[in-house]
Amino acid sequence: MSSLVLTAENFQSEVLQSPVPVLIDFWAPWCGPCKMMKPVIEQIAAEYSGSLKVGMVNVDEQGSIAEQHGVSSIPTLFLYKDGSIAGQRTGAGLKHDVEALFKNLI
């Protein structure tokens, strides 16, 4: 499974009502660290398909979602479980750094 493009229109159904935890990557196409994180995020989406949903929020196109989350630096990751924020981290990192956000919840 690949990552899902999250928008203001589908955020409620895809994130807040998701039966599985959701990892959200706030990014932008011009962001160098975001580009570095993309393969890590894609690998996690593939490896944890079925037990974790991975969504992408382009902050340039979905500024309202970024603003609601107080995102001021990218990449920023948020983890949702049962409709609530369960974790977050800002900045590029290694795969195990990202996995640490959700490993204990799946």
Q: What is the 3-state secondary structure (H, E, C) of the chain?
A: CCCEECCCCCHHHHHHCCCCCEEEEEECCCCHHHHHHHHHHHHHHHHCCCCCEEEEEECCCCHHHHHHCCCCCCCEEEEEECCEEEEEEECCCCHHHHHHHHHHHC
Report the largest interatomic distance among the alpha carbons of the chain, rounded to a whole angstrom.
Answer: 32
- Residues designated as active site: 31, 34
